[in-house]
Chains A and B, each alone.
Chain A
Amino acid sequence: MSKDKLGPAKTGTSHWWHQRLTAIALIPLILFLVGLLPNMAGATHREFTALMQIPITPVVLILLVAAGLYHMKLGLQVVIEDYVHNACVKMALVVSLTLFTFFLAAAGIVSIIMLAA
């Protein structure tokens, strides 16, 4: 990838817009999680997997993990860009953040599917 493709002047608007889009999506998803928590907290493994057999639970959890992680990645990237001034360090941190986010998304979604299966 060329250096010219990076930076707020090139991707800033879509970044800004995606941060808002995921924020809006997260409002109902978070409310669903808050409603789910009393059933999750203190549940045995059997009770929890039973909850995961109801299709709405894994579906909403996957959406929550995906939107939440994407929103998190966009947000933390802005924080890094604001505070880290060395270009190499900045690049290394943003790349690490991206890889870590993909790892979490894959791990989270695979776990949810295993629990629902």
Chain B
Amino acid sequence: MAETPNRPLSPHLQIYKPQITTVLSITHRATGIVLSLGVVLLVAWLMAAAAGPQYYEAAQACAGSWLGYLFLFGFSLCLFYHLLNGIRHLFWDAGHGFELETVTRTGWAVLVGTVLLTVIAWVLGLTVMGRI
């Protein structure tokens, strides 16, 4: 057994240099978990609306507080990231985009797209609501 010092070892995450591929991959999982919390809150919000105006007002007040805004902003970032990277996943599943160069390029495109879509959505949203 001592003769095999050059065997490839599975990545030991603590000492493994972060790369765009690995970081984006775990971020897909992390954003998926945040979105799960988001769906739970969406259902809670619908239940409040169905329960009547007083519950609905309370839910709106929560969402309209600075904490609510912070969460909504973070949630929108996660949503757009997971959406764009999910499309990237679907292309891989169809067998496209596996070259290392393409993987790196689409990875950066997902990051830039996430920031752009989030900013556009909030600017449009706040404009439609007459806040800016």
Question: Chain A: residues with CB nearer than 8 A to chain B?
Answer: 20, 23-24, 26-27, 30, 34, 37-39, 41-43, 45-46, 48-49, 61, 65, 68-69, 72, 75-76, 79, 104, 107-108, 110-112, 114-115
Supposing A23-B90, A72-B36, A72-B39 touch, asked if A48 and B83 sit within 8 A by C-beta, the answer is no
Chain A nearest CB, measured from B16 CB (Å): 18
Choose from B39, B49, B124, B125 the contact partner of A69 (Cβ within 8 Å). B39
Given contacts A27-B87, A112-B46, 20 further A-B contacts (CB under 8 A): A20-B93, A23-B86, A23-B90, A24-B90, A27-B86, A30-B79, A38-B124, A41-B63, A43-B60, A45-B52, A46-B53, A65-B39, A65-B42, A68-B39, A72-B36, A75-B32, A75-B36, A76-B36, A108-B46, A111-B47
Is B93 within 8 A of A111, CB to CB?
A: no
Q: How far is the CA of A107 from the CA of B44 in the complex (A)?
A: 8
Q: Which B residues fall within an 8 A CB radius of A?
A: 29, 32-33, 35-36, 39-40, 42-43, 46-47, 49-50, 52-53, 56-57, 60, 63-64, 79, 83, 86-87, 89-90, 93, 121, 124-125, 128-129
Chain A min CB distance to B13 (Å): 13
B53-A45 in contact (CB<8A): yes
Highest count of chain B CB atoms <10 Å: which of A61, A68, A108: A108
Interchain CA distance A20-B83 in the complex, whole Å: 12
